[in-house]
Structure 1
C-alpha cells in the first residue's frame, strides 16, 4: 500500500528554505463558519486557527521564509475583507503577506490556479469549484521544472509589485 500524500503541514515541516503561496481568488470556502459569522457582523473573537499559527511560527523560527501574496479585485469582496481582518495574526506568527490589486497584475504571466511552492522544488496547485469550495480533486502536485519555474517567476513578479499587509488599506 502506498504512503499517503504529504499534507500541507508535512510539507511546511520539511521545508528548508522557503514556502510561498499565491492566492488569486476573491473568495474561498465561503461555508467556513468564521466567514459566515463575519457576514453576520461578528468581528471580535474571530481568529486564525491556533494550530496554523503555531505551524507558521515553528516554520519561520527554523529560518524558513514563508510568504503569501494575494491578488484581489477592487473594490474588494466581503471575503477579502474577512481575510484582511484576520491576516494580522499570520504576520505576527512570522508569515510575510502582501496584497496586489488585480488591475496591477494584468501584464503578469500567472498560472491558472493558486499554489504553494516549497523550496523552489515542489508546486502544489489548489483546485476549487464554481462555488469557491475545494474541488474533489483539490490538489495537484508538480515537480517538473516548467511548472516550478512558472510558479517561482509568477510569485516573484507579484511580490515585487504587491503592497505589504501593514500598508494595504481596503475601502
Structure 2
C-alpha cells in the first residue's frame, strides 16, 4: 500500500482514544528527514524557542489530534551505543514532546526476552495496525494494514511490554 502524509493524517485523525508507535530501527533513510540529518551532522540543532523551524506538518497534526483527547505514545527500541541517526532523533524529540507525544526509549539489550513484531508499527485504538516496511537502507517501501484481532492484540501487547520497560524521554541520555 502506498501512503501519503495526507492518507496517514486521515488515519491518525480517525483515532478516538490512542495511537501508539513502535520503532525498532537504528536508522531511517526517510526522504523528509535526510536534509535535517545532514544538517545535524554538520552541527545544526533545533532551537527550542523557534517553533516555526520545527518539523511541519507532522507536529501540527500531533497537536491537533492530542487536543482532541487522543493519547499518542511512541516507544523506540535502540542499540547502544546509539547510532548517529538515533542521536539525531533524540536531539529533536523535544519537539514531539512539546506537540503532545509521550516518548520512551528502550535499550535493545533490555528487549531480548520480548516478542516483537518484525516491522515498526502504529496501532490505532487497538483496532488497526499499520506496519511501516523499510528496505535495508532504512528507506520507506510501503505500508501494510490489518484489523486481524490476533495481530492487533500481539502488536499492542508488544508495545505495552516495551513501554513498561522503556525510559521516559526526559531521563534517557545518548
Once the two structures are TM-superposed, the CA of residue 134 in structure 1 deviates from its matched residue by 1.1
The reply to whether residue 145 of structure 1 matches residue 149 of structure 2 is yes
Runs (5+) with no aligned partner, structure 1: none
The 1:74/1:18 distance shift into structure 2, 3 A limit, reads: same
- Give deviations 1:136-171, integer Å, cap 9, x for gaps: xx100011011101110000000000000000011x
Once the two structures are TM-superposed, the CA of residue 131 in structure 1 deviates from its matched residue by 1.0
Note if contact 2:78-2:106 (Cα within 8 Å) is conserved in structure 1: yes
Match of 1:35 in 2: 37
Match of 2:108 in 1: 102
Find runs of 4+ consecutive structure 1 residues off by over 3 angstroms. Answer: 44-48
Note if contact 1:114-1:125 (Cα within 8 Å) is conserved in structure 2: yes
- Report the count of equivalent residues: 165
Runs (5+) with no aligned partner, structure 2: none
TM alignment of 1:154-169, pairs within 5 A: 154-169=158-173
Query: What is the TM-score with the length of structure 2 in the denominator?
Result: 0.89
TM alignment of 1:1-171, pairs within 5 A: 7-29=7-29, 32-44=34-46, 48-135=54-141, 138-170=142-174
Once the two structures are TM-superposed, the CA of residue 44 in structure 1 deviates from its matched residue by 4.2
Once the two structures are TM-superposed, the CA of residue 48 in structure 1 deviates from its matched residue by 4.0
Once the two structures are TM-superposed, the CA of residue 36 in structure 1 deviates from its matched residue by 1.3
For the aligned residue pairs, the C-alpha RMSD in angstroms reads: 1.8
The CA distance in 1 between the partners of 2:56 and 2:133, in whole Å, is: 25
Q: Secondary structure at the match of 1:41?
A: coil
The 1:48/1:25 distance shift into structure 2, 3 A limit, reads: farther
Query: What is the TM-score with the length of structure 1 in the denominator?
Result: 0.91
Note if contact 2:21-2:75 (Cα within 8 Å) is conserved in structure 1: yes
